[in-house]
Amino acid sequence: MFSRFHKNKINLDLKPGDKHYRSFIGPPAKYDLVSAMQFNLLTKYGLRESHKLLDIGCGSLRGGRLFIIYLLENNYYGVEPEKWLVDDGIHYELRKEIVRLKKPSFSYDSDFNFDSFGVEFDFAIAQSIFTHASAEQIKNCMHNLSKVASKEFRFLASFIEGDKNYDGDTWVYPGCVTYTMDFMEKIICEYGFSCKKTEDLHPNNHTWLLIENN
Ligand SMILES: C[S@@+](CC[C@H](N)C(=O)[O-])C[C@H]1O[C@@H](n2cnc3c(N)ncnc32)[C@H](O)[C@@H]1O
C-alpha cells in the first residue's frame, strides 16, 4: 500500500514546471491549498452536484480530485493536453474505483476545443490558464465556450493583472504573462459574456474573474 502513495511524499523543493504530477502545475507546497481554493470558490458561486463542470487545463486534477467526488456522475469534464498529468492524478489522488463511480470525461486537447463532449456546461473554471496563455488563445477559449455555455453559465478564470499586455502568440510556461483588467474585459465581452473582477484572494496573487452568459 505504501508504495502506491510514495509519490505524494515529494520533495517540496521541486520547482513549478518540474516533471512530477504535483510540481508540473505549480509549487508543490501549495497543492492542497489550491485544490481547496478552487472547490470553495466554485461552490461559493453556486456550483451544485447536479451541474456540469468544465475544468479547462485540469492538469493533475488538483481541483478535479475534489470536484469529481462532489459532483454527480457524468458531471465533470476536464481538458488537458498533457495526458500523463491526468493519468497520475487519477492514480495517486483519486483511484480507478472513484472514476468508475463518477464517470468523469477527459479530452487531451491543446486548442481549447470543448464541443467534443457534446455537453452544455453550467460552470467552467480556468485556474492558472490565462496566466500562461496568449491573447489569441484566450479569445479562442472564449469563442469555443460561447458554443457550449448554458444560459445560466458561470466561469471563474484567474489571470495576473499588470500594466502591460503580453503580446506574444504562444503559451508561456512555467513563466507567467500579464494583462490589464481593461484588456481582459474587452476580449472576453467580444464573445457575448459579461466579466467582472471578484474580491476573492489567491495564494499566488492572481485576480479572479467572474464571467457570465449575458
Ligand atoms: C498552472 S497549470 C494549472 C492546472 C490546473 N488548472 C490547476 O490549477 O490545478 C496549467 C495547466 O494548463 C495546461 N495547458 C497547457 N496548454 C494548454 C492548452 N492549450 N489548453 C488547456 N490547458 C493547457 C498545462 O498542461 C497545465 O496542466
Q: Tell which CATH architecture fits domain 32-213.
A: 3-Layer(aba) Sandwich (3.40)
- What is the pTM (predicted TM-score) of this model? 0.95
Pick from 109, 129, 159 the residue to mutate for probing ligand 1's pocket: most ligand atoms within 8 Å of its CB.
129
Intra-chain end-to-end CA distance of the chain, in Å:
50
Question: Is 154 in contact with 210 (CB distance < 8 Å)?
Answer: yes
Residue 59 CA to ligand 1 center (angstroms) comes to 5
| Nearest C-alpha neighbor of 115 from the set 85, 149, 82 | 149
Classified as helix, coil or strand, 115 is helix
Residue found by looking up cell 475534489 in the block: 66
Q: Return all residues near 82 (Cβ < 8 A) that are at least 6 apart.
A: 24, 59, 108
Tens digits of pLDDT across the chain (214 residues): 333 444 556 677 888 888 899 999 999 999 999 999 999 999 999 999 999 999 999 999 999 999 999 999 999 999 999 999 999 999 999 999 999 999 999 999 999 999 999 999 999 999 999 999 999 999 999 999 999 999 999 999 999 999 999 999 999 999 999 999 999 999 999 999 999 999 999 999 999 999 999 7
